[in-house]
Structure 1
Amino acid sequence: MSDLPLDTALENPELAEASLIVDYLYDHPEFFLQHPELLSRLRLPHQQRGVVSLVERQLELQREKIRALEDDITRLMGIARQNEQIFYALNDLHLELLKAADQTALISALQAFTTKMPLVQSCALVDLQQNTDQVAQLQLILQRRLSGKSYYFGRLNRDEMAALFEPHIHSVSLQLLKLSEDQQFLLAFGSDSDEHFQPGMDTLFLDHLAKLVLAVLPSAV
């Protein structure tokens, strides 16, 4: 039902009449069944085709809805394929980490895992206890980007990116792993897509990955 304000109806009688027609058609959906001749006579303005019949417009709207549904199905199928790819990559990573006897083998397993991930091209695992220029630069990045949080998703500036990845990487995932307060690691993934890693991303998958890496780190360092 229409909720047209009384003052608007008084100021614009044509709008009030249109509102009454809308209300009537809502209350009598069988109207065009009782007056089928109107369907062939009604004409609606169309941006591309000028004027079309009501039936043509209804068919066009239905086709648009079908196209939108097809797009949604295609998108969901793409997500399902990516999830399947991630599932198998994670299974392989489990097996490789069980065999990792040192940090080099651990990093190699993570890099192999990265090559199987959709839209992820690079991976780094850095021991933040090392006294190196890279770690010093990363400490500044962690202070600026993480600010006491465990994750950062998004872009880095050119100097920050140089401490981790090649120039073709455009968005990153940074994850702080803590074996203890005195023993911390940075796990980073990089994508050449600007939009792949974004603020507000869900961390469920990365939480599991962090637990997995933390479980094997003590025997690998």
Structure 2
Amino acid sequence: MTTEANKILTPVVDDTLIAEYLEENTDFFERHPQLLQQLSLRHQERGTVSLVERQQQVLRQRIMQLEEEITDLMITARRNEELFRVYSELYVELLECTELADVMDALQRTFSEQLNMPALSLKFFDSPIELDEQFTFAADTHKKLLSKRFQNDPVYLGRLTADEKKLLFPDEPIASVALLLLGHKGELGMLAIGNHDASHFEPAMDTLLVRQLQALLSRILPPLLSHHAAHHDTV
């Protein structure tokens, strides 16, 4: 008897089957419009509302969400367009440089005045020519930094230790950096760009523009170093 009673009480159709049926028959309520007036849903703020009202509410919320997403995409697109323009102008300036000092001036103007990143450091490794102190590391102080930050990639984005920041930016409270090894195999030197915002440079961010800058500097700096050496020997 118990078994028979359970069979009688067990619903033939459960919620899952109803949901699947409605998904497969989206015109169900068009064929049965009277049900829309009979059905009601509990709403947290407005109490009981009709299915149509609730559906309209969900659609409005979705539209607002999409509008916010579109606005964010437009803001990002404008920001990327501006960044591309700034970098493009920098590339032209760098190609016209005839001295190392010109390169540094062009980089500082771009990153400090246009991109709001005043901390910049251009260093050369084991240079055979005499360079100003701003372009060199003291002894081998940089080698630990290189082995730690450049294991698999010539570009590093992220944060540094206090000692590493002091090595590159002794006078600036830098929170995040972009480090670019220069040269065919990173043997020439390093460009370091610092930002006061800890979240500005992150490992997951796109590196297209900084890699283009890295490639350009790797190409134009060796001739400028040779020119610098020749000029120094003449003097």
1:129 aligns with 2:133: no
The TM-score, its normalising length taken from structure 2, stands at 0.76
Gap regions ≥5 residues in structure 2: 1-6, 128-132, 226-235
| Residue of structure 2 equivalent to 1:157 | 161
Q: In structure 1, how many angstroms separate the alpha carbons of the residues matched to 2:174 and 2:153?
A: 23
Q: In structure 2, how many angstroms separate the alpha carbons of the residues matched to 1:59 and 1:121?
A: 51
Match of 1:176 among 167, 173, 181: 181
What letter is aligned with 1:66? I
Q: Does structure 2 retain, via aligned residues, the 8 Å contact 1:126–1:187?
A: yes
Q: In structure 1, how many angstroms separate the alpha carbons of the residues matched to 2:50 and 2:23?
A: 20
TM-aligned CA deviation for residue 180 of structure 1: 6.5
The TM-score, its normalising length taken from structure 1, stands at 0.80
- The alignment yields a C-alpha RMSD, in angstroms, of 2.8
| Residue of structure 2 equivalent to 1:37 | 34
| Residue of structure 2 equivalent to 1:76 | 73
What letter is aligned with 2:49? V
Structure 1 99/153 Cα, relative in aligned 2: closer, same or farther at 3 Å? same
TM-aligned CA deviation for residue 154 of structure 1: 0.9
TM-aligned CA deviation for residue 168 of structure 1: 3.6
Q: In structure 1, how many angstroms separate the alpha carbons of the residues matched to 2:12 and 2:123?
A: 68
1:185 aligns with 2:182: no
Q: The residue matched to 1:200 in structure 2 has which SS?
A: coil
| Residue of structure 2 equivalent to 1:107 | 104
What letter is aligned with 1:172? V
Q: In structure 2, how many angstroms separate the alpha carbons of the residues matched to 1:15 and 1:174?
A: 66
Gap regions ≥5 residues in structure 1: 1-9
TM-aligned CA deviation for residue 106 of structure 1: 0.7
What letter is aligned with 2:176? S
Q: Deviations over 1:73-130 (max 9, x none)?
A: 1122122212221222122212321332221211111111213655644322111226
Q: In structure 1, how many angstroms separate the alpha carbons of the residues matched to 2:56 and 2:110?
A: 48
TM-aligned CA deviation for residue 204 of structure 1: 2.3
Q: Which has the larger radius of gyration?
A: 2
Q: In structure 2, how many angstroms separate the alpha carbons of the residues matched to 1:121 and 1:216?
A: 23
Q: In structure 2, how many angstroms separate the alpha carbons of the residues matched to 1:50 and 1:142?
A: 63
Match of 1:53 among 37, 50, 66: 50
What letter is aligned with 1:154? G
| Residue of structure 1 equivalent to 2:231 | none
User: How many residues are paired up?
Assistant: 210
Structure 1 133/101 Cα, relative in aligned 2: closer, same or farther at 3 Å? closer
Q: The residue matched to 2:68 in structure 1 has which SS?
A: helix
Q: Deviations over 1:29-58 (max 9, x none)?
A: 222112223223322233333433222221
Q: In structure 2, how many angstroms separate the alpha carbons of the residues matched to 1:78 and 1:177?
A: 32
